[in-house]
Chains A and B, each alone.
Chain A
Amino acid sequence: MELESLKYIWHSLEVPPDVEYDRRALLALLEKKSQAPIARMRRNLIGEGILLFVAYIPAILIFLLGFNGRLAAVSWLFILLLVFFFAYYYRKYRLLSKMQCPTCELRSNLARQVHTLRRYTRFYLLTGTGMIPLAYIAAYFIIRWKLPAVNPTPWLILLIPITIGMYYINASYVNRLYGRHIKKLQDLLQELDSE
C-alpha cells in the first residue's frame, strides 16, 4: 500500500468525541505533579536532602554541646559532611533541571539529554567513589588528634582496595540505572543524523 493511501486512512481517523471531553478533569490534571522519572528524581533528591539535614542537625548539636565539648571535632566532621552533601545534591539537582528542553527541536533535546546524563553519571560515579577515601582520611586525622595512643595507619592500607572496589561497584550500579537509557538516546541521535 502506498503512503498516500495510508494518508487517506490517517485523515479519516476521528478524534475522540467531544462528549468525552471533560474540562474540569483537565484543569484538575494541571494541579497534579509530573510523574515523569526526571521530575520524580528531582523530588526524591529534595526529599533526601531534607532528610539528611533533619538527621544531621541534632547529631551536630549533641556532639557540639554535649560531652563537655570533648567530641566537638565529630560535630565539625558532620558539618563538613553536610556541606559536602549540600554541594552534592545541589549539583545533581542542577544537572537534572538542565536535562530536558521539551520546547526544543527533537535532535537538540536528545543531544542535550545525552550530554547532561553523561555528566550526571560521571559526577555520581566520582563522588560515590571519592567519598570513601575522604571519609577515611578525615577519620584518620580525628583519631590521631583525639586518641594519639591508637595507631590508625593499618586502616589506611585497606583504603586502596576498598576505593578500587567501590569504583567498580558504583560503575556497575550507575550503568544498571542509566546505561540502557543513554544507549537508547545515542541510538536515536545516530538514527536522526544518519542519511
Chain B
Amino acid sequence: MDNGATLAPVDVAYETYGELNAKKTNAILILHAFSGDAHAAGISHEAGKPGWWDNMIGPGKAFDTNKYFVICSNVLGGCRGTTGPASVNPATGCPYAMSFPVITIGDMVRLQKMLIDWFGIERLLSVSGGSMGGMQALEWALAYPERVVSAIPIATTTRHSAQQIAFNEVGRQAIMADPDWNEGNYHGRKPPARGLAVARMVGHITYMSDDSMREKFGRRLRGKENFGFDFDVDFEVESYLRYRGSEFVNRFDANSYLYITKAMDYFDLTNGHSTLSTAFSAATARFLVISFSSDWLYPSYQSQEIVRALRTRNCDVAYVELPSNYGHDAFLVDVAEQTDLIRGFLGSTFEKAQ
C-alpha cells in the first residue's frame, strides 16, 4: 500500500452486468463515489433496491449491457463487502477499527486491478465514475495506461481544493466529536450515530445547489402552519437532512467515513511531478470529461484543468459542461444528456478498438 503497509487477506465485493465477449474487449469498470457500493445496477436481492447508477447501466442504457460487460466493486476501506475498518482483522479476531492502514485512491485502484487481472481482462474498454469515482478513473488512466482504452471522469478533480478538504474535515470532526465514536472502538456497542448523521447532512448540502434546494424545499414548513418556536423540525429542508442523516447511519460505517474522505483529500495527481501536464505524460487513453454548471463542490474549472493538461499532451479528449440545476448530484440525476454523450463516446471507442 502507499503508506508502506501490507494488507492481507482482502475481500472484494463486486457485481457484474452483461456478458464478457470471447476476446474480452467489451469490459467496462464502473467506479463508485464516496458513499456508493458494488451495487451499481439492477435490483438487489437483499433489499430490493435499484443500484446507485441503475438509470445509466442496463440493456439499452448509456452503459449498454446488451453490448458491454460492466463490473463494479466496492472500494478498499469501504463497508459494503470489501475489506475496510469494520472488517475483522484475522490476526486479532477483532475489527480493524483505527488500526486499519490509511488508504489512498491509488490503493483502491491497485486492488481493482487485481480484480481485473483475476477476470483475465487485458484491457478495459473504459473506466468511468463520478466524484471520487472520477478520481479512480483518472488514477487508472495514469497508473495503468496500457490497461485502459478510455476513461470517463465525471464531476471530479485531480486534487481536492482547500474548500473540499474543509468540508471533509467538518464531517470527520463531527464523527470524532461524538463520544460514542470512542477512538473508533464502537463495535459491539452504540455507534457514533449522531456524529455520522451530522457529517452526512453537511455532505448532502454540498451535493445540492442553491437553486435545487430552493426548488425542492424553499422555506416550506414541515407539517405545520406556523413556526413551532422550539428546536424541533420547522422547515422541510431540516426534515430532509435529518432523514438523510439517520438513513445513512444504517448503511455506513463511521470509521470508513474517516478513511475514505482522507483518501480523497490525499489524492493529488501532481504528486511527484513538476506540473499536472507532466503527470499526464503517461496517459494514452481516450478521455470524455464531463462537468455540471451548478456543481460548486467539484466546479467545472477542475474538470477544465484535466482537459487542459490532456491537451498539452495532445491526448484525445472530449469535454462538455452540461447545464444543470442539481449541483454535484447532477451526475446521478441528469441521465438523459449523459446517456447521449456516453453512448456515442463508447460506441466509437469500441469500434476503433476492435
* Chains A and B come from one and the same complex: no
Residues of B whose CB lies within 8 Å of any CB of A are none
